[in-house]
C-alpha cells in the first residue's frame, strides 16, 4: 500500500512515521510530502530511504492513503485533490473539523460512523481527544451535563519553534520567539489567537468539538494554558452528571475502557504526569474524587502525549479502521 505523509519533515509528521512503523501499518511504499524547499531530503522508514517530494509529485504517485499534518491552508488546498484521485485523507489540521460534511473521529468513540464515502476524515484537536477519551465512558453511563476544563499544554503543541525558544531561554541564547513572552519557568494563559468572546481558538475547539463528537447538549467551560513541558498535555476536568454515581464505579468504568490507563492511588503518590505519558499512546487518568461542592460532579486529572494520542496515534488508528473495514486495501 502506498501511504503518503503530508508534512513528513515536521514535528508531528516525524511522529506519524514512528507510529506507523511501531503499529506495523502495512506500508509498502512511503511517500513523504513536504514543501518544495524540503524536496529531495531523505526520510528513513523501516530500513529504507525515501526522498521527500512536493504535493503534486505525491499526488501523481497515487497513494491509497494520505495522512496530512501540514497546516489548515495546505489541507484546504490539497486534501480535496487527493480525495478526488481516490485517496483517503486523514487530516490533522483544523481545516475540516467543523465542516458539516466531514466526520470528526476518535476511534474509541465514534469510528463506526465512517463509511466508504468519507474520503476526507478530520482528526480532532489534541486537547479534545484526550479529554473525550476519558469522558465518553462516563457520558454513556451517567450522561454528562457540564464540563469545566483547564488545560496545561506542552510547547510541542506549538511546534519546533517553541521547543527552540525554551531551549534558548534555558541556555541564555537570544532567538526567535514562538510566544509573546518567555515560556521557561512561566505559564501563559494563551493558546492560539483570541476571539471576540474573550476565549481563544484552542478553548473554543474544546467546546465545538465536544458538541460534534460527543453531545451538543453538554455545556463546556474551557481555559487553555501553555506550560514549559515537552512530554504531553495535562487537563484538570470537573464533570457534572445527570445520573448519580460513585467514584468506585467511575474508576471501574475507566479501567475497563479502551485506550485508558488509570493511575489513581494518592496514598502511594500515583497519578498521571506528562513525563510518564511521553512516547505513550494511551490516555492516563487519575486524581478521581467527588466534587466537595456538588454531589453530582467529580474531578479528574487527564494526561496524554499530545503528539501521539493527541495527533499521530489517533490519525493512524483512524487509518487502521479504514483498513479493517476494507475501505483501503493492504
Looking up residue 6, the CATH number of its domain turns out to be 3.40.50.720
Give per-residue pLDDT as tens, 119-153: 999 999 999 999 999 999 999 999 999 999 999 99
What is the span of the domain harbouring residue 257?
A: 127-305
Q: Which pLDDT value is given to residue 329?
A: 86
- Counted domains in the chain: 2
- The verdict on 214 and 253 lying in the same domain is yes
Which one of the listed residues 191, 233, 241, 278 is annotated catalytic?
233
- pLDDT-derived band of residue 205, with 50, 70 and 90 as boundaries? very high
Q: Answer yes or no: is 146 within a domain.
A: yes
Which one of the listed residues 126, 139, 241, 278 is annotated catalytic?
126
Q: Which pLDDT value is given to residue 282?
A: 98
- The verdict on 157 and 221 lying in the same domain is yes
- The verdict on 21 and 170 lying in the same domain is no
Q: Which pLDDT value is given to residue 330?
A: 77
DSSP type of residue 124: P
Q: Is 126 a catalytic residue?
A: yes
Other CB atoms within 10 A of residue 216 CB: 9
> Mean pLDDT for the chain?
97
- The verdict on 103 and 189 lying in the same domain is no
Q: Answer yes or no: is 330 within a domain.
A: no
Q: Which pLDDT value is given to residue 163?
A: 96
- The verdict on 183 and 110 lying in the same domain is no
Buried b / exposed e over 221-230, threshold 16 CB at 10 Å, is ebbbbbbbbb
Judged against a pLDDT cut of 80, whether residue 180 lies above it is answered with yes
- The verdict on 176 and 226 lying in the same domain is yes
Q: Is 233 a catalytic residue?
A: yes
- The verdict on 117 and 235 lying in the same domain is no
Q: Which pLDDT value is given to residue 9?
A: 94
- The verdict on 102 and 141 lying in the same domain is no
Give per-residue pLDDT as tens, 181-193: 999 999 999 999 9
Q: Answer yes or no: is 196 within a domain.
A: yes
Q: Answer yes or no: is 329 within a domain.
A: no
CATH of the domain at 242: 3.30.360.10
- pLDDT-derived band of residue 24, with 50, 70 and 90 as boundaries? very high
Q: Mean pLDDT over residues 313-330, rounded?
A: 96
Q: Mean pLDDT over residues 38-58, rounded?
A: 96
Amino acid at each position: 500500500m502506498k501511504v503518503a505523509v503530508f508534512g513528513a519533515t515536521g514535528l508531528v509528521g516525524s511522529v506519524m512515521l514512528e507510529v506507523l512503523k511501531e503499529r506495523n501499518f502495512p506500508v509498502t511504499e512511503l511517500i513523504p510530502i513536504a514543501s518544495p524547499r524540503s524536496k529531495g531530503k531523505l526520510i528513513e522508514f523501516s530500513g529504507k530511504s525515501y526522498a521527500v517530494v512536493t504535493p503534486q509529485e505525491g499526488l501523481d504517485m497515487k497513494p491509497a492513503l494520505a495522512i496530512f499534518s501540514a497546516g489548515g491552508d495546505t489541507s484546504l488546498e490539497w486534501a480535496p485533490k487527493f480525495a478526488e484521485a481516490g485517496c483517503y485523507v486523514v487530516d490533522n489540521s483544523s481545516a475540516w473539523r467543523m465542516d458539516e460534511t466531514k466526520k470528526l473521529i476518535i476511534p474509541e468513540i465514534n469510528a463506526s460512523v465512517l463509511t466508504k464515502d468519507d474520503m476526507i476524515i478530520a482528526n480532532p484537536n489534541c486537547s479534545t481527544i484526550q479529554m473525550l477519551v476519558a469522558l465518553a465512558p462516563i457520558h454513556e453511563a451517567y450522561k454528562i451535563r457540564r464540563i469545566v476544563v483547564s488545560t496545561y499544554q506542552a510547547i510541542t503543541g506549538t511546534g519546533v519553534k517553541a521547543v527552540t525558544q525554551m531551549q534558548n531561554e534555558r541556555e541564555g541564547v537570544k532567538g526567535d520567539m514562538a510566544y509573546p513572552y518567555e515560556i521557561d519557568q512561566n505559564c501563559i494563559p494563551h493558546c492560539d489567537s483570541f476571539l471576540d468572546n474573550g476565549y481563544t481558538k484552542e478553548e473554543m475547539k474544546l467546546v465545538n468539538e465536544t458538541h460534534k463528537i460527543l453531545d451538543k447538549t453538554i455545556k463546556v467551560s474551557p481555559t487553555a494554558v501553555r506550560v514549559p513541558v515537552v512530554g504531553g498535555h495535562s487537563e484538570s476536568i470537573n464533570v457534572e452528571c445527570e445520573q448519580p454515581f460513585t467514584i468506585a464505579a467511575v474508576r471501574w468504568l475507566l479501567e475497563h475502557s479502551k485506550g485508558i490507563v488509570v493511575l489513581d492511588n494518592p496514598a502511594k503518590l500515583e497519578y498521571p504526569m506528562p513525563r510518564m505519558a511521553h512516547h505513550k499512546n494511551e490516555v492516563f487518568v487519575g486524581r478521581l474524587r467527588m466534587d466537595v461542592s456538588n454531589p453530582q460532579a467529580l474531578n479528574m486529572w487527564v494526561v496524554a502525549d499530545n503528539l501521539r494520542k493527541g495527533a499521530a496515534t489517533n490519525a493512524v488508528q483512524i487509518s487502521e479502521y479504514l483498513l479493517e473495514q476494507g475501505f483501503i486495501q493492504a
